[in-house]
Each structure stands twice: as structure tokens, then as C-alpha cells.
Structure 1
Amino acid sequence: MPLSPKLYTWLCGLFASLGSILFGKSFSSIRRYDLGVIANVIISPDFLRVTKLDSDKPSDSDYIGFIVSSFLLGAFCGCIPASLFADALSRRKAITIGACTFILGGALQCGANGREMMMAGRFFAGLGVGQLSLLAPLYQSEIAHPSIRGRLTTLQQFCLGIGALVASIIAYELEKNHKGTVFQWRFPLGFQIAPAIPLALLIPLFPESPRWLMLKGRKEEALQNLARLHARGDINDAFVQAEYTELDAKVSAEAQISSGWVEVFRGPSNLRRVFLGIILQFSVQMTGVSVIQYYAPAIFAAIGFSYEKTFLFQTINSVIALVAQALCILTVDRLGRRLPLISANLVACACFAVATALQAKYPASVGNTSAGYAFVMMTWIYNFAFSYGIGPLSWAYPVEIMNTATRAKGTALTSMSCWIANFFIAQITPRAIKAIGWRYYICFSVMSFTNAITIYLLFPETKGVPLEFMDTLFANTSWIYPLSTYRPDYVGHGEEQLRRGQLHVETGYEASVEKEKGEIEQQEEKHTY
């Protein structure tokens, strides 16, 4: 029995998310893999022997810290090249390059014979992850039906959760059975390559993005890929024909305008979307996710929980995250983007408020077990909210609000803000906790609340809006979204209209461009006279 078009498209998107398993396993500065695998690597006696490092020496301690954080530097540097590869070579080839770059980084780490080789491996691994973290949702958004686009683009966070769970299990087994051996640090660094190999080898067999093909003038191939994705290969299908006509009209209009970097910053509509994407990616770290994930195990241990119980808490946390991410995939195209983002940030605010009160009243040194369990419960509730409404949508929303000509470049800029925020939090958190203790947590409670207000005021709802009509949506809505009266009439039933062969080609973007051109010409005439 042949697969339904939506299931086939969903499976294509799921395969592309293999890059997110690398992300979940290798996002070493803030994710659980650092706590389990990388943290064990940098204290392994054999690793310290090979790299000739002594963690007790201040200079060597800084060097070890830079080995860990060089991953972030690589991820930051990987965003712009990924956008250039995606536009020039294709979305699939860019994913292949990202996977191969990660394989190189993983191989250098696994076979490292000194600190320099290890640092180079960390940088190249980060470079690959920086590319794949934006390429996966980019590809998913461009192959999706409008009605399941949210389900596809939130797969990244689900696969990230799988990577985190696998990493925590590996870390526990290595700590328990191979502590102090060469296997303890070389195996996990080599094992992280596993998902990248099939991704690099098999992604060329999957359909190319029809939107990229159309952008390059390969219209026949674009039609064939639309049919392959959405109609079991039938190019005469009414839905495919209507979708192709809309896509052709949109890309033709965009082709008359510069598609370079200047287009990303030209005009209030594009600037607004890049600005919203940057705000969203940066706001994720302002919820305190890095602090919770990085320092919770240390707090558990300080309270008096054993290593086994701490591992159990973290494993339960990973399972909770997977359940929440699965629920997000199932409901995001019904509930939209605004409601989950707003409500999850409010829950994060409440969880940090309670956790802060617990730490203030019952510090870890007191050893109050009941307070310790209450703190654990707060981390679980927080993790559920974050994994349901914040993490997945922080990657899904930026890619869907950009137009075809600027999607790769705009998403690169928004992704870079994610890595900057990670680096910022990683750098200030140890000093802040040492200086002000539990008071530092108040910042994240306040910022989660302001995140919710910001999203309510500034972020338009994109549920059900076809990618080709994001320009129209942003051209007809004000910066303060609740004050806007415009609501696209095809939301919720646009796909059914397409299946009946009904088109809803709009010209909001082209009209806004012409308006801007007219204003510029008027200014030039005024200066001339």
C-alpha cells in the first residue's frame, strides 16, 4: 500500500532531523550531553594524559574550558556558510556538507592525540551542527503541506530530545563500567558520528525543495517534486497544479527584486521578520534553560542525592521532554504558535519563581530532602513547558516567516543569535551564581514573563498560512499584532481551496515593494528640484 502524501512528506522531514540528534548529543555547552559525556571526557585521566592538561592548574583549566566552548564558536561560524550553500548549491547538498563537516569534527575528537587536535575537532563539530541546526527546519518548511508544516518543523526538537536521552544513558554506562579508561572518552566522541553517516549518504535520494528549484528557474523539476511530495507523483493533481501556480507567481515576483543580502535588510517587512526571529532565538536562553540543564545535577548532588538517583532524575527529565515534544508535534498545527509560546513562557516564569524561593529558603547546604524533591519537580514541570512550547517553536517560527528569496539568509542570522545567547549565558552563569547565588534565578523568572508579553504584542500567528503569503501577512499587520484587524481568509481552509483548484494569489509583497520604490523616487525628485 503506497504511503499517503502527508506521511511521505513527514518521513522526509523526520530523516532530515537526523541532524538534530547530533545537535542533541553534541550541543556541549548547555545540553545534557555535556553533563554526561563531555563532562566525563574532560575529567577522564586518560584524556588529561593525552592532552597533557591538569585541571587543577588555572591556566590548564581555562584551556579545558575553551576546548568545550570552541564548539559554540564553530556553531556560530557555521550559520552564514550554511545559508550560502543552501542558496547556491541546494538545500540537500548543504545538508550533506553539514553532515560531512560534523563527521570530520567527530573523527578529529575521537582520534585526538593532543589538545590542538581536540580543539580542532570541537570547532568542526560545532561548525557542522551550526549548519544543520538551521538547514533541517529550512528544508522541512519548504517541503511541507501548509496544514502539517508545524509538525515537520518541530521534529528538530524531538530528535534533539532523543539525542539527549541516548547521551545520558551512554554517560551513565561509561561512568559505571569504564571509568578512567581510554574507552570512556574516545567511544562517545566517535559514537556521535553515527547519525551523520546515513544523513550524508542518503539525503541526496530525497526530494529537493520545490521552492529552491523554482527559485533557480528549474520549473519542471519543481513541479515533479511537488507531485512527488504531495500527490504520489501525479503532476496533474489539482492541489499540485494550484500550489505550483501560486509558487511560480510568487517566485517570479521575487525574482524582480535583489535576492542578495541587501534584500534581507531592505524594507520594514523583512527587517521586522529578521528582528522577530532574533528576538525569539535569544529569548529561549532568557528562560534559563541552560542554567536548569547545566546546574541541576550539581544541585541534586549538593542536596544529597546519590549519583544513581541523580541519573534517574535526569533520565525521567529526558523522557518528560520527549513526551512534551511529541505532544507539540501533534497539536502545534491546531493550537498555532502564539498560544504555546506565551503559555510555556508563563509556566517557565512560575517554575523559576518557585525554584528561587526554594533555594532561598532551603539552600543546598541545608540538606532538606523535601525541598530537594520539590526543586526536582520544578525542573520537570519547567522542562515539560520548555519542550512543548518554547524549544520546538524557536526553530520552527523563524524559517516559516521568511520568503523564499531570503529564507536561508534570514534564518542564518536568527540562528546566530541562538549561539550568541548560549555563549553569553555560559560565560556569565558561573560568576553570577558565585556572586549572588539564588538571586540569579530571579532574572529568568522576570525574563520569561517579559518573553510572554513580547510574543503576545509582536508575533503574528502563522498557523495555516502558506509560505507564499507570509509577505502579505506581514505587509498587512502592524508591529503591535493585537491591534491589527487583518486576518487572511485562507487560514484553516487554504489547503482545501487548493485541492479544488482555487487560487488565492495575493500581491501584498509586490505592492509594498512598489510603494517603497515610489517613495524613494519622490524623495529623489524632491532633492533634484
Structure 2
Amino acid sequence: MFNMNRYQLLCLAYVTFGSVLYGYDTGITTSVLAYESFLTYFKLNNDTIGAMNSTYYGACVIGNVVLWYLPDKIGRIRSIQFACVVNIVAIVLQAAAQNYAMFLVGRIFGGFCSGMIYTLCPIYASEISPPHIRGRVSMIYAMNVSVAFAITEWMGLGFFYIHGNANWRTLFAIQAVPTAVVAFGSFFMPSSPRWLILKERHDEARAVLQRLHGGPNHDDTFVESEFLQIQSQIKLDREESLGLLAILRRPSYRKRLLLILGFFLFQQLTGTAVLQVYQVIIYRICGFSPSFSLVLVGIWGTVICVAVATMSPWIDRIGRRQTLFLAYAFMIPGSLLVVIMWARFEAGGNKDLGLAKGIIFGMFFVIFGFGGTTNTFAACYPAEILPTSIRAVGVAAGYGIYMAFAVMLVQVTPLAIASISWKFFLIFVICDFIYVIIFYFFYPETKDKTLEEIEAIFGDKVAVTLEEASEKITHEQEHFEGESKPEPGRVEA
């Protein structure tokens, strides 16, 4: 029923590649914290290191807020192109920074771009993906984030041995490569068919759907059925005045938004972001050298890639809910191990190498669970449960919450580690237990359903199911063919 052709595969490959920008950009600052040249050039301390990271995530929030308006106004593709232009400015400012202020401005521009791209690509991907592989498309998206991060960290280890400021300047400059790929590829991408119908450009939308589903086994009935379903649902939303304000006045929409905000809030409260950003500091506390700390950072990135490859494919097999429970089955024990081993390590005078290894093993256990499924879930579930008219706003709001809490956490973490060490991470363990309970009772399964049919899960009206649309198209075709046949015994002139 759902046909895939080379063109659709290329489109999905492109849109999932967008996550590389975020993966590379966030990976850089993890590595450079081990570069003495970087630390001394900008005279960094716990406060300025926190500011370097918090301003980045703060700018991500601004990028998310822009998505409340821009993608629905000018389209998904034009918004991506705009973000790429901003990122070029960011790369120049960071790579050529002459002082801390100039570098900080570059990080702000870079965060703005990442906030847009990282949020926008899953929205676009959900709108061009067949229902039965949306989870796997999100898996590829998560894999690209992970691979980009891992490559950045191994590059960071290699550049560590370059003397002077060339090491960190080059590492920041290489961001231009994925940015150029995303910008260039955007000129060959179609507009989202759902956005085109939202803008009443129906002929263009039908042409995009035909191209996405065309090929040797091309099924006109499916193309027309999907077109009719999307068109009918958007028309129904308009008739019921379900615009942006519907999020506030419609209970089912408020529920969906709260599910999204809750997910992103508690994902940040797993503590994985601060573990990732400041893992070098933790390795140094454990007594490891800067060079070996970078080796561990590279392994960290590789572990995430392995986790995505082995765990994320289950999101379309066993469903979204079971996959996320699988993630917490790793994260909760891992977080407990970090806290327990760190407390014992500190009580013993920070000298027991075995306990230090226990801390690191717990950290890797946490990131295996988080990287293996939650990044995939984040790129899939929020976009699925929202209708087209508010999809960009709702997903952007979710990522905005995620980035906003990142601002707070990355700012306070260096000081918190110095002041209360393992007790800080006990907060994340408690939050993990709370969210598992919330998730169990309130989050429905969305596996294998079209974006329009997910409306019914939340008690909203589905204008027409895909099956009904298919039957209607088939009936109209049969009726047309019946009218076009000559009557028995009649000879056409």
C-alpha cells in the first residue's frame, strides 16, 4: 500500500541529515574543554564555561520560538535555508574569534541555527514519511546526530595534538561542511505536501505526493486517497477554527501539548545533556589525563551510535511506548550507579580507581539507554500527535522547553559539581522515576497510524480515514469508467 521510491528515499536521507549540524555543534564544546590552548586563550573558568554553553542553548530557544511562525509562513524548506545562512555567520565568528565576546556571539548565532534545524527537520520528515516507517526515519535522524557527535569527538582527540590555537579554530571551522551540504540539498527538495495544502496549493501538493509515491509499482489510488485525507482534515480544522489559539481552548490539543512539554522537560531532567557536555570535567575528577579523557569522550559518542543501531529499530516493531520503557530500563540503573559509585569514591578520598571506573560505566549505561531510543522518540512522537495547523508550533514549544532547561542546567552544573558533586545527580534519578509513572498512564501508542488518523486517539474527529478515502476514490473511478462505456448494442460513431 505504501510505496517507496528512490526519490522519497533521497528526500528522507536529506531531511535526516539535518541533525548532523546539531550533533557536530554540540560535540565541539565537549572536546575543546580539554584543550589547554582554548581554555587559556579565552581565560575560561567555571562561570564563563557555563555561560559559553548556556548562551548557546538560550539561542536554541530563540530559534525554536521563530519556528512558531516561520515554517507555516514561508515553508519548511525556506526556513531551513534561512537557518543555514545564519550558521555561516556563526561559524566565521567562532573560528576567527579574537576574544571571548566575539566567540560568544558566534555561539549565539550557532545556537539559533541549531534550534531551528534540529526542530524543523523532524516536522518535515513526519510530513513526507509513510506511516509504517516514521519511527525508522526518526531512528536515522537520531543516528545522524549520534554519528556526527562521535566523529566530532574522535576529531577532537586528533586535533588535541595540534599545537597552538589552530586545533580549536579548525574544529569550529569544519562546521561549514555539513552546513553547505544542507543548504545545497535544500534547492532540490519538494515543499511539504501538507504545508502546500495548508496554503491551498492543491495541484502542487498532488504533484509532490505523486512524485514521492511514484515508480514501477505506482498506486494512483493511494496517492489520491492520501491527498483526499490530508485535504479533508485540514478543511475540517479550518471549519472548526482550529488555528493556533485552539491549543489553549481545545482540551485534546492542550493534552497533546502537555504530553510534548512533559516529555522534553523530563528528557532534560535525565541529566544526560550535562553528562555529555561536562563529561571531561567528570573524567578529570576521576583522575584521568586530558588525552585519555578525550578517548573516553570518543567512546561515549561511539556507544550512542551502537545504541541507536541496536535499540531504535524497535520503535516501529514494538511501538513507541515499549521502546521508551526500554530506554528507562537502562537509564535508571545507570543513574543510580553513577550516584552510588561517586558517593563512595568521594568518601574514599577520590583515590579508588575501581570506583572511578564504576562512575564511568554508569554514565555509559545512561547514555546507551538515552541515545538508543529517546532521541528517536523525540524526532517521531511529538510531530505525530499534532495536527498540521499547529505541528510546527507544538514541536517547537517542546524543543524550546528542552533547550530552556538546558540553559539552566549547563550554567549551574560546573558550580554544582564543585559544590555538591554526586548529590546534584540524585535529582535526575528521582525525576526518572517520576516520569516513568507519568508516561505509563498518559501517553498513548501511535504506531502504524497516519498523521490524520492519530486525531481519533485523542478523541478528535477524523475527517476521513485512509481506507474510506481509498474506497471513495475507487468508487469514483468505477463510476467514471461505467459512464464512459457505450451502452449495449450501441455503436460509437
Distance 1:108 1:290 in 2: 25
Distance 1:311 1:474 in 2: 47
1:410 aligns with 2:394: yes
* CA displacement at 1:202 relative to structure 2: 1.8
* CA displacement at 1:501 relative to structure 2: 3.1
Which digits, 9 at most, give the CA deviation of each residue in 1:260-296, with x for residues without a partner?
Answer: 4313323001111111111111111111102322343
User: What amino acid is aligned across from residue 501 of structure 1 in structure 2?
Assistant: S
SS in 1 for 2:421: helix
Distance 2:36 2:93 in 1: 14
Distance 2:113 2:121 in 1: 12
* CA displacement at 1:131 relative to structure 2: 0.5
Which digits, 9 at most, give the CA deviation of each residue in 1:453-479, with x for residues without a partner?
Answer: 1111111111112101222211169xx
Residue 338 of structure 1 corresponds to which residue in structure 2? 321
Distance 1:17 1:110 in 2: 26
Contact preservation (8 Å) 2:54, 2:411: no
Distance 2:198 2:279 in 1: 47
Distance 2:24 2:433 in 1: 29
Q: CA 1:344 to 1:299, structure 2 compared with 1: closer, same or farther past 3 Å?
A: same
Residue 155 of structure 1 corresponds to which residue in structure 2? 140
From 339, 358, 375, the counterpart of 2:341: 358
* CA displacement at 1:94 relative to structure 2: 1.0
1:84 aligns with 2:69: yes
1:18 aligns with 2:3: no
User: What amino acid is aligned across from residue 33 of structure 1 in structure 2?
Assistant: I
Contact preservation (8 Å) 1:105, 1:121: yes
Taking the TM superposition and a 5 Å limit, the aligned residue runs for 1:260-271 are: 260-271=243-254
* CA displacement at 1:83 relative to structure 2: 3.4
Residue 419 of structure 2 corresponds to which residue in structure 1? 435
SS in 2 for 1:154: helix
User: What amino acid is aligned across from residue 237 of structure 1 in structure 2?
Assistant: D
Greater CA deviation, 276-285 or 338-347?
Answer: 338-347
Taking the TM superposition and a 5 Å limit, the aligned residue runs for 1:300-311 are: 300-311=283-294
Residue 79 of structure 2 corresponds to which residue in structure 1? 94
Q: CA 1:117 to 1:257, structure 2 compared with 1: closer, same or farther past 3 Å?
A: farther
Contact preservation (8 Å) 1:346, 1:449: no
Q: CA 1:365 to 1:291, structure 2 compared with 1: closer, same or farther past 3 Å?
A: farther
Distance 1:414 1:184 in 2: 35
User: What amino acid is aligned across from residue 273 of structure 2 in structure 1?
Assistant: S
* CA displacement at 1:198 relative to structure 2: 1.8
Contact preservation (8 Å) 2:261, 2:401: yes
From 25, 32, 42, the counterpart of 1:37: 32
Q: CA 1:38 to 1:442, structure 2 compared with 1: closer, same or farther past 3 Å?
A: closer
1:398 aligns with 2:382: yes
CA RMSD for the aligned pairs? Answer: 2.7
From 349, 360, 364, the counterpart of 1:376: 360
Distance 1:41 1:264 in 2: 49
SS in 1 for 2:447: coil
Distance 1:42 1:250 in 2: 57
Which digits, 9 at most, give the CA deviation of each residue in 1:222-271, with x for residues without a partner?
Answer: 11111111223988622112111111111111222446431332300111
SS in 1 for 2:270: coil
Which digits, 9 at most, give the CA deviation of each residue in 1:474-522, with x for residues without a partner?
Answer: 1169xxxxxxxxxx9x9xxx98x58x93479xxxxxxxxxxxxxxxxxx
Distance 1:75 1:153 in 2: 20
User: What amino acid is aligned across from residue 465 of structure 1 in structure 2?
Assistant: K
Q: CA 1:358 to 1:63, structure 2 compared with 1: closer, same or farther past 3 Å?
A: closer
SS in 1 for 2:103: helix
Distance 1:386 1:6 in 2: 32
Contact preservation (8 Å) 1:342, 1:453: no
SS in 1 for 2:187: helix
Distance 1:120 1:291 in 2: 22
Q: CA 1:359 to 1:133, structure 2 compared with 1: closer, same or farther past 3 Å?
A: same
Contact preservation (8 Å) 2:56, 2:108: yes
Query: Number of residue pairs matched?
Result: 469
Identity of aligned residues (%): 26
Distance 2:37 2:16 in 1: 28
Taking the TM superposition and a 5 Å limit, the aligned residue runs for 1:50-69 are: 54-55=43-44, 62-63=47-48, 65-69=50-54
From 72, 82, 107, the counterpart of 1:122: 107
1:474 aligns with 2:434: no
User: What amino acid is aligned across from residue 147 of structure 1 in structure 2?
Assistant: H
SS in 1 for 2:177: coil
Residue 486 of structure 2 corresponds to which residue in structure 1? none
Distance 1:464 1:315 in 2: 36
Distance 2:216 2:253 in 1: 34
User: What amino acid is aligned across from residue 404 of structure 1 in structure 2?
Assistant: T
SS in 2 for 1:355: helix
Which digits, 9 at most, give the CA deviation of each residue in 1:168-201, with x for residues without a partner?
Answer: 122112211x23x231222111111210112112
Contact preservation (8 Å) 2:132, 2:448: yes
Q: Higher RCO, 1 or 2 (CA under 8 Å, sep at least 6)? A: 2
Taking the TM superposition and a 5 Å limit, the aligned residue runs for 1:92-491 are: 92-176=77-161, 178-179=162-163, 181-232=164-215, 237-258=220-241, 260-363=243-346, 365-475=349-459
SS in 2 for 1:461: coil
Which digits, 9 at most, give the CA deviation of each residue in 1:126-158, with x for residues without a partner?
Answer: 111111111100000000000011111333321
TM-score, scaled to structure 2: 0.88
Q: Which runs of 5+ in 1 are unaligned?
A: 49-53, 478-487, 505-529
* CA displacement at 1:353 relative to structure 2: 1.1
Distance 2:438 2:303 in 1: 27
Contact preservation (8 Å) 2:55, 2:407: no
Distance 2:268 2:309 in 1: 22
Which digits, 9 at most, give the CA deviation of each residue in 1:106-145, with x for residues without a partner?
Answer: 1222223344432221111111111111110000000000
Distance 2:249 2:80 in 1: 28
Contact preservation (8 Å) 1:78, 1:126: yes
Residue 482 of structure 1 corresponds to which residue in structure 2? none
* CA displacement at 1:69 relative to structure 2: 2.6
Contact preservation (8 Å) 2:89, 2:106: yes
* CA displacement at 1:329 relative to structure 2: 4.2
SS in 1 for 2:389: coil
TM-score, scaled to structure 1: 0.82
